[in-house]
Amino acid sequence: MAQSVLELFSIGIGPSSSHTVGPMRAARHFVGELWQCIESRAKEQRTQRIQVKLYGSLALTGRGHGTDSAVQLGLAGCEPDSITVTKKHEVLQQISQTLRICCDLQVDQTSTFDIPFDPHTDIIFELDKTLPHHSNGMEFLAFDRQANLLVKRVFYSVGGGFICDEQGLAIASETTDKPILFPFTSCAELLDLCRSQGYTIAELMWRNELCLHSEESLRLKLSSIWQVMNDSIEAGLHTTGILPGGLNVKRRAAHLYERLQTQQAGPDSGMDWLSVYAMAVNEENAAGNRVVTAPTNGAAGVIPAVLKYYFEHLAQFSEARLHQFLLTAAAIGMLYKEGASLSAAEVGCQGEVGVACSMAAAALTAVQGGNIWQIENAAEIGMEHNLGLTCDPVGGLVQIPCIERNTMGAVKAVNASHLALNSDGQHLVSLDKVIATMLRTGRDMQIIYKETSLGGLAVQVNMPEC
């Protein structure tokens, strides 16, 4: 379970947390293990070739989602939270021109090595195969001069940029072994802790975070998360052109933003602003630019849009409200990661935009003074009306219907919050029951509707996978 808000909201490049961020982390983890291995071997046994095999959804939509580029970046030692767009292009160009990967692990002065690598032959898309633990499986193999296998590792990208090993066990993070004051794995446990301790959800989360980070570091990193979110909105609001990938999808956020600035505010203008904020983020994500995984890249626009809508149209900015929003949203996101999935390849888009909608609804309710029961109610409404949401990206790209779907998720989140705040918080269906239902719905969903581009809109539009 992600036990830190800083794990759930991570910074990376688009277009997909499960197909881009996760594979980059897996590839970076692999070369770290490989470096330790070749250091213990004679020079003549050093790695002369690396091969990457992509399975399931990673194979079927990997090209459109940039998985092939992501594994190259990871093998070169790049990390999602620190790589810039400029650096990304430089590394990929260097590999394309030299057919070699110069890996810099930035561990010590000797942790750089140069390996032959041809992306066209050394990245294999296993279109008809799936590994046992998850649809997003990948295999890394390293060979010596005599083509003997040196190292083989299997990883799974399980949504939100999180990765697991061959046994399905989460790859340890810096906070994995640190105890927190108030652990919880269900909403019932979370609410019981809040009642018994007299805390709001955000206050309880804050105390958990202080077990993992210093107060100064936590404040700085939460501010950084919002800064990247807001930067992605502003970049999207001021950038025009055609998104990459071959669908010739035009960026629309900048044009809509210009129109909104000149129009007189009307009764529906709030929804228009919500939509343009969400669209701006996901156009940036589709372009492969820097966004916050919230809780995934495919759903990266929902939470920033609702948060900016709150600060621009409902209340003035304050650090306290920012913290309250992000911490409340993270608590709800952790419940979905623990009780269901954040992976569209596993449960459809209900695990991405649906979860983001639920998180945003809860957080907006919290900053507007809702009690813990109203917050739970808002989160429950947010997911209840996204149940069964499929993932069928046209052309295997995170563009249609993904960009517009984020606008719908943001609007639903605000409406869910309104409904919860206008009630007494009492509701028949608990959030835990909705999360369980979401998981069962995902398991019942046909595979063609789970990020494979084999059904739904992807087929109806009659566009080949890019």
Q: What is the DSSP string of 37-99?
A: HHHTS-GGGS--EEEEEEEHHHHHSHHHHTHHHHHHHHHTT--TTT--HHHHHHHHHHHHHHS
pLDDT at residue number 245: 92
SS3 assignment for 404-424:
HHHHHHHHHHHHHHHHHHCCC
- The pTM (predicted TM-score) of the whole model is 0.92
**Residues of the chain where predicted confidence (pLDDT) is lower than 50:** 1, 43-44, 466
Specify the pLDDT at position 171.
83
pLDDT of residue 1: 47
pLDDT at 167: 86
- What the chain holds in terms of domains, given with CATH numbers, is 14-164 (3.30.1330.90), 187-211+213-449 (1.10.4100)
Q: Do 247 and 400 form a contact (C-beta atoms < 8 A)?
A: yes
